């Protein structure tokens, strides 16, 4: 069945880029969301024939066994969010549902049904914070669809009514407006996925409604997917990449499993390239470049299995394979108590057993887009490799920080220059902190981790970077012996300096040189060069950490004195602690209109020997 025929079959026509509702038509039998009868047969064959798949399913089953003894989800908000409970329900339905489909064991069915009924009995799914509603709707839709044949008629009715009234109801309510529908961030992806799941799960009950919901998703989702153009970068950082992109992939996979087409969504510019983003955001230490509101630890992403299979690129599994093994070990060691990513079972469905993890060919990467990035590394296999990742873009990006011109660096198995990552939203909101006031001078920028004083970049007279500025990567070279990137920071420091460019280079001997070419603004100022580091500053400019050393040399200006400012304890009681971290650098005067060069060389201990 071709794309246009399927569109008419569902009841959707696409004209001039807009989705419109047309008369509806039949639908596929349950299960039709991700886990079809054909998919189930293929997964069972994988588990029987492939040891890695068998190991993966064993971890899913161990987790499901642990869930058998847990009480069903309860209605308990954390501040303004029910999200942790929605995610809890989704994880349980995913794991229990997978175990039930694979084994036919009625214990898993009964426990999943108890979860579905508990969520259905909630007064609402917190539509004021629609992510909560979306994730719960996805959980309920999958449970209803996967276990449809096992559900008693009365239970079906209860679950169906909950999806209609508590999931789809707030979305389709006449006159309701949802800013996320055409937003450019993860909300768009997550919420559309939840609503489409709910509508397609109940398609036989109201096919016109299903057509309407899918049409709205097809019209709205491209606004979020535009951020992947042209190279697959994700402006909200690796953490939100996993969140938004996993739901985006799930939505595409649901359309394909239920309707036989994704209506061209996967072909949007940059989307199939985005598997490169988390790959290159992972350093030689295995740590992610945790820019924006990201966590500082890497985790296995089932979505990467989907990208590797879809693009036939086994190198995308290079970092994921060891993360998966770590995940499986944690599950086994904890007997399922350390529950994995709620989408963990999807790895079993999406993985291609024919793809063997291979070493990526590209050592360097330039990702264009709203928050451009440049990455250089000396090896994928050497544990002492140098890894340098550089960020340009805008502090005003979704979940952005004042980290423009900042960088992270690994060498000799140590992350010497790091990004401190996000702070806990709820703890800040509970004290009335204006975390989401990202205007110039807004309370968001009082956070040490979010201000440029808490990043490895420049600070002029303690002032903020310009929120609405956009800093491009003006030059990039991956040529052997000539690897460098230049970030134009002039707009980022408008009103503070007349011009600013930052050049990063990785020398053939693996030293890193950072050179700032600055022109003073209308008045004299003080410029701080800084690197956020877990290394302890020693005489001679050496940083020491875990028995390793990195030398920081100030080549210009002459006579600049290195200092170490503590990041722990942080400046304010609302800042999260940063134990073992300091800010190392120097301060230099910059006269009005003066041209100046700040030049620093970073030499790994293994290179200096």
Predicted pLDDT at 26: 56
As a whole number, mean pLDDT of residues 350-364 equals 95
Predicted pLDDT at 11: 52
- Return the number of other C-beta atoms located less than 10 Å from residue 161's C-beta: 13
Whether 119 contacts 73, CB under 8 Å: yes
- Longest distance between any two alpha carbons in the chain, whole Å: 81
Q: Are residues 343 and 370 in the same domain?
A: no
pLDDT in tens, 391-426: 999 999 999 999 999 999 999 999 999 999 999 999
Domain that residue 568 falls in: 364-608
Q: Is residue 356 part of a domain?
A: no
**Can you tell me which residue has the tokens 């200092």?**
563
Q: Is residue 494 part of a domain?
A: yes
Provide the token pair at 258.
């239920």
- Residues of the chain with pLDDT > 90: what percent? 94
Q: Is residue 306 part of a domain?
A: yes
As a whole number, mean pLDDT of residues 241-256 equals 98
Predicted pLDDT at 523: 97
Whether 543 contacts 550, CB under 8 Å: yes
**CATH number, domain at 184?**
1.50.10.100
Q: Are residues 508 and 587 in the same domain?
A: yes
pLDDT in tens, 456-491: 999 999 999 999 999 999 999 999 999 999 999 999
Q: Is residue 282 part of a domain?
A: yes
pLDDT in tens, 16-74: 344 444 434 457 899 999 999 999 999 999 999 999 999 999 999 999 999 999 999 99
Number of helices (H) and strands (E) in the chain: give both, helices first: 17, 19
Predicted pLDDT at 1: 33
As a whole number, mean pLDDT of residues 206-227 equals 97
Domain boundary among the residues 350, 378, 395 is at 350
Map 449-507 to HEC letters: CCCHHHCCCEEECCCCCCCCCCECEEEEEEECCEEEEEEECCCCCCCCEEEEEEEEEEC
Distance from CA of residue 140 to its chain's centroid?
Answer: 24
As a whole number, mean pLDDT of residues 514-541 equals 98
CB under 8 Å to 432, separation ≥6 — which residues?
none
CA distance 558 to 599: 10
As a whole number, mean pLDDT of residues 309-328 equals 97
Which pairing describes strands 563-566 and 482-488: parallel, antiparallel, or unpaired? Answer: unpaired
CA distance 118 to 86: 12
Whether 172 contacts 209, CB under 8 Å: yes
Minimum mean pLDDT among 23-37, 113-127, 210-224, 230-244: which range?
Answer: 23-37
As a whole number, mean pLDDT of residues 310-331 equals 97
Q: Are residues 437 and 292 in the same domain?
A: no
Domain boundary among the residues 316, 350, 384 is at 350
Q: Is 205 helix (H, G, I), strand (E, B) or coil?
A: coil
């Amino acid at each position: 069945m071709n794309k246009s025929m399927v569109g008419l079959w569902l009841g959707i026509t696409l004209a001039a880029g807009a989705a419109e509702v047309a008369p509806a038509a039949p639908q596929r039998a349950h299960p039709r969301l991700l886990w079809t009868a054909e998919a189930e047969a293929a997964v069972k064959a994988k588990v029987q024939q492939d040891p890695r798949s068998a190991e993966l399913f064993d971890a899913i089953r161990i987790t499901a066994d642990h869930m058998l003894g847990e009480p069903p989800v309860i209605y308990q908000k954390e501040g303004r969010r029910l999200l942790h409970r929605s995610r809890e329900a989704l994880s349980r339905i995913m794991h229990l549902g997978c175990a039930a489909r694979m084994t036919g064991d009625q214990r898993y069915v009964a426990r999943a049904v108890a979860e579905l009924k508990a969520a259905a009995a909630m007064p609402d799914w917190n539509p004021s914070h629609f992510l909560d509603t979306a994730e719960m709707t996805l959980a309920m839709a999958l449970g209803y669809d996967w276990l449809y044949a096992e559900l008693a008629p009365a239970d079906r009715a209860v679950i169906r009514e909950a999806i209609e009234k508590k999931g789809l109801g707030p979305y389709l309510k006449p006159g309701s407006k949802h800013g996320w529908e055409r937003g450019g961030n993860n909300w768009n992806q997550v919420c559309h996925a939840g609503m489409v799941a709910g509508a397609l799960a109940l398609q036989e009950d109201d096919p016109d409604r299903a057509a309407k919901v899918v049409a709205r998703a097809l019209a709205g989702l491209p606004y979020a997917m535009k951020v992947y153009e042209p190279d697959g970068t994700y402006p909200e950082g690796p953490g939100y990449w996993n969140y938004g992109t996993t739901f985006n992939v799930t939505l595409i996979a649901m359309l394909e499993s239920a309707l036989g087409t994704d209506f061209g969504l996967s072909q949007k510019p940059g989307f199939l390239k985005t598997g490169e983003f988390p790959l290159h955001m992972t350093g030689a230490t295995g740590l992610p470049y945790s820019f924006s509101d990201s966590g500082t630890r890497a985790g296995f992403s089932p979505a990467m299995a989907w990208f590797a299979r879809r693009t036939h690129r086994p190198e995308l599994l290079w970092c994921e394979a060891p993360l998966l093994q770590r995940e499986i070990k944690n599950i086994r060691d904890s007997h399922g108590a350390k529950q994995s990513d709620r989408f963990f079972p999807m790895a079993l469905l999406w993985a291609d057993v024919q793809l063997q993890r291979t070493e990526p060919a590209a050592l360097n990467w330039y990702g264009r887009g709203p928050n451009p990035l440049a990455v250089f590394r000396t090896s994928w296999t050497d544990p002492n490799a140098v890894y340098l990742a550089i960020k340009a873009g805008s502090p005003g990006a979704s979940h952005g920080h004042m980290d423009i011109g900042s960088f992270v660096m690994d060498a000799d198995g140590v992350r010497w220059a790091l990004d401190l990552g996000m702070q806990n939203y709820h703890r800040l909101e509970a004290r009335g902190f204006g975390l989401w006031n990202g205007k110039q001078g807004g309370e968001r920028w009082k956070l040490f981790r979010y201000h440029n004083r808490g990043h490895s970049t420049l600070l002029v007279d303690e002032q903020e970077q310009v929120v609405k500025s956009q800093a491009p990567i003006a030059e990039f070279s991956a040529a052997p012996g000539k690897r460098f990137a230049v970030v134009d920071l002039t707009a980022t420091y408008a009103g503070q300096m007349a011009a600013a460019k930052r050049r990063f280079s990785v020398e053939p001997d693996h030293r890193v040189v950072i050179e700032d070419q600055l022109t003073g603004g209308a008045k004299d100022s003080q410029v701080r060069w800084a690197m956020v580091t877990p290394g302890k500053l020693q005489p001679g400019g050496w940083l020491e950490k875990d028995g390793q050393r990195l030398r920081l040399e100030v080549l210009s200006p002459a006579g600049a004195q290195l200092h170490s400012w503590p990041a722990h304890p942080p400046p304010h009681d609302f800042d999260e602690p940063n134990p073992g971290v300091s800010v190392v650098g120097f301060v230099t005067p910059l006269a009005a209109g003066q041209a100046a060069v700040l030049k620093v060389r970073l030499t790994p201990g293994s290179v200096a020997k």
